[in-house]
């Protein structure tokens, strides 16, 4: 295990404004900066943050653990540290993840355009859709599909969408419940033989809500580890619960792979076939599928540029997902298709009203302007990031996808854009 301390003295010019001798940031600012920095380093660079100290003057000291490389530390300096600068120094430059400049009133087209222009300057590459109160306000792409391309991403560009696949898996479970083929209250022992006793009474609903106690991963080599279904099931059930099921929550890719296995057990069919037949095709998501499928032969595919690379970082040519990833990732989709998926959770195109209500009741909602906001996001170490944010009461949707590791990615821009549209600050749901 390697560790490296960093400090403000090593910061790039872009961060020096936050490295002052005068303490300026509040305790809340510092706490938010720590979260922003840790999420960036751990989720996007794949490096463990063992300890982190950010002081009020912007001085930062961090110890890295598993995953540390000199290249990764350099990326943390150039990508993750700039994200905390404006958190600690509001008004000292381009505000990132802070209150919108139009706080208290909806944003104008000029203010939306100014945000997007500034984020492109800070390195955002990808595509964005925004519909506010049912009106299309944004439909634009930035950057190029690849370093050697002159083509700009658009609303039909295919991106790796990471964990948004989990929402397709969840949709499959709810549809099967709607069909009467399972109940979310049923235990795992009712579907699987020889379930270890520690998992036998865990409910399907607890797996859906990440409250079953499964670990984050069941692979040891990453997304492309060769793994068949039986091996995945064995590895998942061999885990020991992180807590007594139902008493806490922990994000789990393993749990969603287990749900994909459950879907196959219940339907006696292939998980990917069900995803296509029950979700993609009914919604007209014609450019959505899985790694390596022949759906994107027109070349309108974003090539990832991130902390890691695999083959040519082209999801259209990556091998089909194995059971290291099935159910929890491996989705390739477009902004327009993701918008169709988002609207399906609000309308009647996929679910019966009772099912739609049950889905909403199962989700933790953020809020903005006093209204419930639901979000879905995903990303990986290869530069890809995608987000859906929706406010059902207003028919408001923001969808963003990015493919280049930069100080601004799709999730950050999505939050900022919806804040500008409403002129309000997003409030996250309280932890249980």
**Alpha helices by DSSP H, 179-217:** 197-200, 204-208
Mean pLDDT of the chain: 89
Does the pLDDT value for residue 219 go beyond 70?
yes
pLDDT tens digits for range 41-54:
988 788 999 999 98
* Cα–Cα distance measured from residue 231 to residue 143, given in angstroms and rounded to the nearest whole number: 41
- What are the respective helix, strand and coil percentages of the chain, to the nearest 5? 35, 15, 50
H helices of 149-247, in order, are 165-178, 197-200, 204-208, 229-237
| Interval 211-216 mean pLDDT | 97
Q: Binning pLDDT at 50, 70 and 90, where does residue 85 land?
A: low
Band of pLDDT at residue 294, cut at 50, 70 and 90? very high
Give tens-digit pLDDT for 160-197.
999 999 999 999 999 999 999 999 999 999 999 999 99
On the question of pLDDT at 23 being above 70, the answer is: no
Residue 93: pLDDT over 90: no
3-state SS class at 281: coil
Residue 394 exposed, middle or buried by CB count within 10 Å (0-12, 13-18, 19+): middle
Q: Where are the domains of the chain?
A: 8-88, 159-422
Reported pTM:
0.84
Cβ-based neighbour number of residue 232 at 10 Å: 24
Domain 159-422 classification at class level: alpha beta
Work out the average pLDDT over 408-431: 90
- Other C-beta atoms closer than 10 Å to the C-beta of 370 total 9
First to last CA, the chain: 33
């Amino acid at each position: 295990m390697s560790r490296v301390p960093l400090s403000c003295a090593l910061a790039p010019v872009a961060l020096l404004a936050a490295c002052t001798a005068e303490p300026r940031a509040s305790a809340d600012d510092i706490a938010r900066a720590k979260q922003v920095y840790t999420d960036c380093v751990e989720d996007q660079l794949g490096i463990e943050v063992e300890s982190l100290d950010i002081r009020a003057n912007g001085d930062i000291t961090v110890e890295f653990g598993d995953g540390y490389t000199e290249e990764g530390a350099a990326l943390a300096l150039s990508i993750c540290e700039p994200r905390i600068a404006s958190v600690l120094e509001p008004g000292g430059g381009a505000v990132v993840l802070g209150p919108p400049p139009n706080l208290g009133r909806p944003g104008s087209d000029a203010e939306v355009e100014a945000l997007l222009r500034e984020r492109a300057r800070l390195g955002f590459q990808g595509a964005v859709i925004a519909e506010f109160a049912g009106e299309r306000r944004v439909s634009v792409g930035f950057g190029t599909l690849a370093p050697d391309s002159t083509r700009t991403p658009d609303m039909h560009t295919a991106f790796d969408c990471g964990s948004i696949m989990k929402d397709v898996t969840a949709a499959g479970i709810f549809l099967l419940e709607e069909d009467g083929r399972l109940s979310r209250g049923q235990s795992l022992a009712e579907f699987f033989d020889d379930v270890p006793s520690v998992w036998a009474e865990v409910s399907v609903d607890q797996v859906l809500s990440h409250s079953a106690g499964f670990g984050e991963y069941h692979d040891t080599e990453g997304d492309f580890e060769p793994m068949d279904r039986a091996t995945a099931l064995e590895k998942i059930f061999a885990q020991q619960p992180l807590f007594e099921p139902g008493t806490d929550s922990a994000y789990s890719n393993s749990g969603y792979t287990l749900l994909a296995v459950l879907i196959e057990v219940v339907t006696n069919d292939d998980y990917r076939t069900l995803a296509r037949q029950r979700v993609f095709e009914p919604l007209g998501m014609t450019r959505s599928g899985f790694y390596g499928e022949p759906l994107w032969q027109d070349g309108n595919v974003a090539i990832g540029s991130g902390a890691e690379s695999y083959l040519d970082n082209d999801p259209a040519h990556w091998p089909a997902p194995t059971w290291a990833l099935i159910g929890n990732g491996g989705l390739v989709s477009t902004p327009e298709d993701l918008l169709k998926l988002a609207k399906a959770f609000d309308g009647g195109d996929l679910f019966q009203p009772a099912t739609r209500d049950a889905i909403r009741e199962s989700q933790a909602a953020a809020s903005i302007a006093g209204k419930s906001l639901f979000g879905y996001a995903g990303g990986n170490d290869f530069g890809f990031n995608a987000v859906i944010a929706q406010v059902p009461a207003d028919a408001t949707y923001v969808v963003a996808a990015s493919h280049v590791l930069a100080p601004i990615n799709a999730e950050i821009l999505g939050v900022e854009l919806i804040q500008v549209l409403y002129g309000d600050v997003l409030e996250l749901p309280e932890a249980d």
